[in-house]
Structure 1
Amino acid sequence: MALGGCSSGDSDSGSAAEPELKVGGAFMPQPVGDMAGGFMTVTNTGDAADKLTSVTSPLSDDVQIHETKDQKMRQVKSFDIPANGELKLERGGSHIMFMGIKKQPKQGDKVRIELHFEKSDPIEVDLPVEAATHNPAKH
Protein backbone atom coordinates (compact mmCIF):
# COMPACT_ATOMS: atom_id res chain seq x y z
CA MET A 1 0.00 0.00 0.00
CA ALA A 2 2.96 2.34 0.57
CA LEU A 3 3.72 2.39 -3.17
CA GLY A 4 0.29 3.66 -4.21
CA GLY A 5 0.52 6.85 -6.30
CA CYS A 6 4.29 6.81 -6.66
CA SER A 7 4.23 6.45 -10.41
CA SER A 8 2.42 9.40 -11.89
CA GLY A 9 2.84 9.59 -15.66
CA ASP A 10 4.64 12.92 -15.61
CA SER A 11 7.95 12.14 -13.96
CA ASP A 12 10.91 14.48 -14.55
CA SER A 13 12.61 12.02 -16.90
CA GLY A 14 9.96 12.46 -19.60
CA SER A 15 9.34 16.21 -19.39
CA ALA A 16 12.70 17.77 -20.12
CA ALA A 17 12.53 21.41 -21.12
CA GLU A 18 12.36 21.85 -24.89
CA PRO A 19 12.34 24.82 -27.25
CA GLU A 20 8.98 25.68 -28.83
CA LEU A 21 9.59 27.76 -31.94
CA LYS A 22 7.35 29.75 -34.24
CA VAL A 23 8.12 32.20 -37.02
CA GLY A 24 6.40 35.52 -37.67
CA GLY A 25 6.83 38.69 -39.73
CA ALA A 26 8.78 36.92 -42.47
CA PHE A 27 9.55 38.74 -45.72
CA MET A 28 12.09 39.21 -48.50
CA PRO A 29 12.60 42.61 -50.14
CA GLN A 30 12.44 42.24 -53.93
CA PRO A 31 16.05 41.51 -54.88
CA VAL A 32 18.14 43.72 -57.11
CA GLY A 33 20.95 41.67 -58.60
CA ASP A 34 21.89 38.10 -57.70
CA MET A 35 21.64 38.36 -53.91
CA ALA A 36 18.64 38.71 -51.61
CA GLY A 37 17.99 39.16 -47.91
CA GLY A 38 15.46 37.41 -45.70
CA PHE A 39 14.00 38.74 -42.47
CA MET A 40 11.71 37.38 -39.73
CA THR A 41 11.33 36.84 -36.00
CA VAL A 42 11.75 33.37 -34.50
CA THR A 43 9.95 33.24 -31.14
CA ASN A 44 10.76 30.56 -28.57
CA THR A 45 8.02 30.03 -25.96
CA GLY A 46 9.78 26.94 -24.58
CA ASP A 47 11.92 26.62 -21.49
CA ALA A 48 15.08 25.61 -23.41
CA ALA A 49 17.25 27.62 -25.77
CA ASP A 50 17.93 26.54 -29.35
CA LYS A 51 20.12 27.68 -32.25
CA LEU A 52 19.33 28.48 -35.87
CA THR A 53 22.12 26.56 -37.61
CA SER A 54 21.30 26.85 -41.33
CA VAL A 55 18.72 27.80 -43.95
CA THR A 56 17.98 26.05 -47.24
CA SER A 57 15.90 27.23 -50.19
CA PRO A 58 15.22 26.29 -53.81
CA LEU A 59 16.04 29.94 -54.66
CA SER A 60 19.76 29.52 -53.93
CA ASP A 61 22.27 26.74 -53.33
CA ASP A 62 24.16 29.10 -50.98
CA VAL A 63 21.96 30.52 -48.22
CA GLN A 64 23.98 32.04 -45.38
CA ILE A 65 23.18 33.51 -41.99
CA HIS A 66 24.82 36.87 -41.34
CA GLU A 67 25.21 39.26 -38.46
CA THR A 68 25.99 42.94 -38.77
CA LYS A 69 28.44 44.41 -36.26
CA ASP A 70 30.06 47.82 -36.55
CA GLN A 71 28.30 48.22 -39.92
CA LYS A 72 30.12 45.15 -41.28
CA MET A 73 28.29 42.04 -42.38
CA ARG A 74 29.81 38.64 -41.67
CA GLN A 75 28.69 35.06 -42.00
CA VAL A 76 28.13 33.16 -38.73
CA LYS A 77 27.65 29.46 -37.96
CA SER A 78 24.48 29.89 -35.87
CA PHE A 79 22.19 32.28 -34.03
CA ASP A 80 21.08 31.72 -30.46
CA ILE A 81 17.36 31.59 -29.77
CA PRO A 82 16.99 32.09 -26.00
CA ALA A 83 14.45 30.20 -23.90
CA ASN A 84 11.29 32.30 -23.63
CA GLY A 85 12.85 34.81 -26.01
CA GLU A 86 13.24 35.60 -29.68
CA LEU A 87 15.69 35.92 -32.53
CA LYS A 88 15.06 39.00 -34.65
CA LEU A 89 16.37 38.89 -38.20
CA GLU A 90 15.93 42.45 -39.46
CA ARG A 91 17.35 45.07 -41.82
CA GLY A 92 20.59 46.49 -40.48
CA GLY A 93 21.07 43.55 -38.14
CA SER A 94 21.20 39.78 -38.27
CA HIS A 95 19.60 38.33 -41.39
CA ILE A 96 19.47 35.54 -43.97
CA MET A 97 21.47 36.10 -47.18
CA PHE A 98 20.68 34.30 -50.43
CA MET A 99 23.82 34.25 -52.60
CA GLY A 100 23.68 33.66 -56.37
CA ILE A 101 19.89 33.44 -56.61
CA LYS A 102 18.57 31.27 -59.45
CA LYS A 103 15.68 33.54 -60.46
CA GLN A 104 14.39 37.00 -59.62
CA PRO A 105 11.33 36.78 -57.39
CA LYS A 106 8.94 39.70 -57.90
CA GLN A 107 6.82 41.59 -55.39
CA GLY A 108 3.81 39.41 -54.55
CA ASP A 109 5.70 36.10 -55.01
CA LYS A 110 6.55 33.79 -52.13
CA VAL A 111 9.97 32.19 -51.60
CA ARG A 112 10.05 28.87 -49.73
CA ILE A 113 12.79 28.39 -47.14
CA GLU A 114 13.51 25.78 -44.51
CA LEU A 115 15.04 26.80 -41.18
CA HIS A 116 17.28 24.21 -39.50
CA PHE A 117 17.92 24.17 -35.74
CA GLU A 118 20.24 22.47 -33.30
CA LYS A 119 17.39 20.84 -31.32
CA SER A 120 14.05 21.53 -32.99
CA ASP A 121 12.66 20.00 -36.17
CA PRO A 122 13.06 22.11 -39.34
CA ILE A 123 10.41 24.76 -40.00
CA GLU A 124 9.27 25.59 -43.54
CA VAL A 125 8.43 29.25 -44.13
CA ASP A 126 7.10 31.08 -47.19
CA LEU A 127 8.71 34.52 -47.41
CA PRO A 128 6.39 37.01 -49.12
CA VAL A 129 8.37 39.18 -51.54
CA GLU A 130 7.81 42.85 -50.68
CA ALA A 131 8.94 46.11 -52.29
CA ALA A 132 12.72 46.53 -52.33
CA THR A 133 12.43 49.35 -49.77
CA HIS A 134 10.02 47.49 -47.40
CA ASN A 135 11.06 47.84 -43.76
CA PRO A 136 8.42 46.99 -41.15
CA ALA A 137 10.60 48.45 -38.36
CA LYS A 138 10.06 51.88 -39.91
CA HIS A 139 6.24 51.67 -39.92
Structure 2
Amino acid sequence: MNRRTTSLSAAVALATALALTGCSSSGDTPELKVSGAYMPQPVMDMAGGFLTITNAGGTADKLTSVTSPLSDDVTMHETKNQKMQQVKSFDIPANGELNLERGGNHIMFMALKQKPRQGDKVSIELHFEKSDPITVEVPVEAPNHNPQKH
Protein backbone atom coordinates (compact mmCIF):
# COMPACT_ATOMS: atom_id res chain seq x y z
CA MET A 1 0.00 0.00 0.00
CA ASN A 2 2.82 2.38 0.80
CA ARG A 3 4.43 1.69 -2.57
CA ARG A 4 1.15 2.42 -4.35
CA THR A 5 0.77 5.76 -2.56
CA THR A 6 4.32 6.74 -3.54
CA SER A 7 3.63 5.88 -7.22
CA LEU A 8 0.40 7.85 -7.17
CA SER A 9 2.15 10.85 -5.57
CA ALA A 10 4.88 10.70 -8.21
CA ALA A 11 2.30 10.55 -11.01
CA VAL A 12 0.39 13.53 -9.59
CA ALA A 13 3.63 15.52 -9.23
CA LEU A 14 4.66 14.70 -12.81
CA ALA A 15 1.23 15.64 -14.21
CA THR A 16 1.29 18.92 -12.27
CA ALA A 17 4.79 19.76 -13.52
CA LEU A 18 3.78 19.04 -17.12
CA ALA A 19 0.63 21.15 -16.83
CA LEU A 20 2.55 24.08 -15.34
CA THR A 21 5.25 23.85 -18.00
CA GLY A 22 2.62 24.02 -20.74
CA CYS A 23 0.93 27.08 -19.27
CA SER A 24 3.78 29.20 -18.04
CA SER A 25 6.17 29.39 -21.00
CA SER A 26 5.78 33.05 -21.92
CA GLY A 27 8.00 32.73 -25.01
CA ASP A 28 5.65 30.18 -26.56
CA THR A 29 2.66 32.46 -27.16
CA PRO A 30 2.09 35.55 -29.27
CA GLU A 31 2.04 38.82 -27.29
CA LEU A 32 0.18 41.28 -29.51
CA LYS A 33 -0.14 45.05 -29.16
CA VAL A 34 -1.83 47.45 -31.60
CA SER A 35 -0.53 50.97 -32.22
CA GLY A 36 -0.81 53.81 -34.72
CA ALA A 37 -4.36 52.96 -35.84
CA TYR A 38 -6.20 55.45 -38.05
CA MET A 39 -8.79 55.72 -40.79
CA PRO A 40 -8.73 58.61 -43.27
CA GLN A 41 -12.14 60.29 -43.46
CA PRO A 42 -13.94 58.46 -46.30
CA VAL A 43 -14.88 60.46 -49.39
CA MET A 44 -16.97 57.63 -50.89
CA ASP A 45 -18.89 54.69 -49.39
CA MET A 46 -15.67 52.83 -48.61
CA ALA A 47 -12.71 53.48 -46.32
CA GLY A 48 -9.24 52.18 -45.57
CA GLY A 49 -7.85 51.26 -42.18
CA PHE A 50 -4.22 51.31 -41.12
CA LEU A 51 -2.37 50.17 -37.99
CA THR A 52 0.63 48.28 -36.66
CA ILE A 53 0.44 45.02 -34.74
CA THR A 54 3.59 44.27 -32.73
CA ASN A 55 4.25 40.72 -31.53
CA ALA A 56 6.65 40.62 -28.56
CA GLY A 57 6.11 36.87 -28.16
CA GLY A 58 8.22 34.00 -29.39
CA THR A 59 5.42 32.50 -31.52
CA ALA A 60 4.02 33.85 -34.78
CA ASP A 61 0.30 34.52 -35.23
CA LYS A 62 -2.02 35.51 -38.08
CA LEU A 63 -4.58 38.29 -38.44
CA THR A 64 -7.47 36.28 -39.87
CA SER A 65 -10.32 38.82 -40.04
CA VAL A 66 -11.55 42.25 -39.01
CA THR A 67 -15.12 43.11 -38.00
CA SER A 68 -16.76 46.48 -37.36
CA PRO A 69 -20.23 47.94 -36.83
CA LEU A 70 -19.30 50.44 -39.61
CA SER A 71 -19.56 47.79 -42.34
CA ASP A 72 -20.71 44.21 -42.85
CA ASP A 73 -18.03 43.87 -45.55
CA VAL A 74 -14.57 44.36 -44.02
CA THR A 75 -11.71 42.76 -45.95
CA MET A 76 -7.92 42.67 -45.87
CA HIS A 77 -5.85 43.60 -48.91
CA GLU A 78 -2.22 43.38 -49.89
CA THR A 79 -0.60 45.57 -52.49
CA LYS A 80 1.87 43.88 -54.81
CA ASN A 81 3.26 45.45 -57.98
CA GLN A 82 0.92 48.40 -57.33
CA LYS A 83 -2.12 46.10 -57.54
CA MET A 84 -4.48 45.51 -54.66
CA GLN A 85 -5.78 42.02 -53.96
CA GLN A 86 -7.83 40.53 -51.15
CA VAL A 87 -6.10 38.07 -48.79
CA LYS A 88 -7.45 35.65 -46.18
CA SER A 89 -4.86 36.52 -43.52
CA PHE A 90 -1.70 38.44 -42.67
CA ASP A 91 1.28 36.88 -40.91
CA ILE A 92 2.47 38.46 -37.67
CA PRO A 93 6.01 37.16 -37.13
CA ALA A 94 7.38 36.16 -33.73
CA ASN A 95 9.25 39.11 -32.22
CA GLY A 96 8.17 41.21 -35.20
CA GLU A 97 5.36 43.35 -36.53
CA LEU A 98 2.67 43.64 -39.17
CA ASN A 99 2.39 47.11 -40.70
CA LEU A 100 -0.84 48.05 -42.44
CA GLU A 101 -0.14 51.37 -44.17
CA ARG A 102 -1.08 53.52 -47.15
CA GLY A 103 0.33 52.13 -50.38
CA GLY A 104 0.78 48.71 -48.79
CA ASN A 105 -1.22 46.10 -46.90
CA HIS A 106 -4.42 47.50 -45.40
CA ILE A 107 -7.99 46.93 -44.19
CA MET A 108 -10.91 47.88 -46.48
CA PHE A 109 -14.37 48.83 -45.22
CA MET A 110 -16.88 48.49 -48.07
CA ALA A 111 -20.52 49.67 -48.22
CA LEU A 112 -20.24 51.90 -45.14
CA LYS A 113 -23.40 52.12 -43.01
CA GLN A 114 -22.52 55.77 -42.30
CA LYS A 115 -19.61 58.06 -43.14
CA PRO A 116 -17.48 58.83 -40.10
CA ARG A 117 -16.03 62.34 -39.92
CA GLN A 118 -12.61 63.55 -38.85
CA GLY A 119 -12.47 63.44 -35.04
CA ASP A 120 -14.82 60.42 -34.77
CA LYS A 121 -13.68 56.99 -33.60
CA VAL A 122 -14.59 53.73 -35.34
CA SER A 123 -14.64 50.50 -33.35
CA ILE A 124 -13.02 47.47 -34.96
CA GLU A 125 -12.29 43.99 -33.69
CA LEU A 126 -9.19 42.15 -34.89
CA HIS A 127 -9.40 38.35 -34.98
CA PHE A 128 -6.35 36.09 -34.85
CA GLU A 129 -5.45 32.46 -35.43
CA LYS A 130 -4.04 31.97 -31.89
CA SER A 131 -4.64 35.11 -29.82
CA ASP A 132 -7.89 36.42 -28.38
CA PRO A 133 -9.63 39.18 -30.37
CA ILE A 134 -8.47 42.77 -29.79
CA THR A 135 -10.92 45.69 -29.96
CA VAL A 136 -9.46 48.97 -31.20
CA GLU A 137 -11.03 52.44 -31.27
CA VAL A 138 -9.68 53.83 -34.55
CA PRO A 139 -9.52 57.64 -34.85
CA VAL A 140 -10.81 59.14 -38.10
CA GLU A 141 -8.26 61.55 -39.55
CA ALA A 142 -8.23 64.01 -42.48
CA PRO A 143 -8.75 62.35 -45.89
CA ASN A 144 -5.09 62.98 -46.85
CA HIS A 145 -3.61 61.90 -43.47
CA ASN A 146 -0.46 59.81 -43.95
CA PRO A 147 1.83 59.57 -40.90
CA GLN A 148 5.50 59.12 -41.69
CA LYS A 149 7.51 56.38 -39.99
CA HIS A 150 10.47 57.68 -37.99
Q: TM-score, normalised by structure 1?
A: 0.90
Offset of residue 138 of structure 1: 6.9
RMSD in angstroms over aligned alpha carbons?
A: 1.8
Residue in 1 that maps onto 2:49: 38
Structure 2 counterpart of 1:80: 91
Which residue identity lines up with residue 103 of structure 1 in the other structure? Q
Aligned residues with identical type, % of pairs = 71
Q: Which of 60, 73, 82 matches 1:62?
A: 73
- Partner residue, 1:110: 121
Aligned pair 1:91/2:102, yes or no?
Answer: yes
Once the two structures are TM-superposed, the CA of residue 59 in structure 1 deviates from its matched residue by 0.3
Deviation of 1:9 after TM superposition, in Å, equals: 5.8
Q: Which amino acid aligns with 2:120?
A: D
Counterpart-to-counterpart distance in 1, 2:133 and 2:139: 19
Render the CA deviation track for 1:28-76: whole Å, top value 9, x for unaligned. Answer: 0000111100000000001100000000000000000000000000000
Larger radius of gyration: 2
- Structure 2 stretches lacking a partner, 5+ long: 1-9
1:14 corresponds to which letter in structure 2? Answer: C
- CA separation of 1:138 and 1:42: change in aligned 2, threshold 3 A: closer
Count of equivalent residues: 135
| Partner of residue 135 from structure 1, selected from 118, 122, 146 | 146
Distance in 1 (alpha carbons) for counterparts of 2:140 and 2:23: 42
TM-superposed CA distance for 1:137, in Å, is 1.9
Q: Residues 2-21 of structure 1: matches in 2 within 5 Å?
A: 12-16=21-25, 17-21=28-32
The aligned residue for residue 39 of structure 2 is: 28
Give the Cα–Cα distance (whole angstroms) in 2 for the partners of residues 14 and 113 of structure 1: 29
Which segments of 5 or more consecutive residues in structure 1 lack a partner in the other structure? none
Q: List, as ranges, runs of 4+ consecutive aligned residues in structure 1 with deviation greater than 3 Å.
A: 6-12
TM-score (norm 2): 0.84
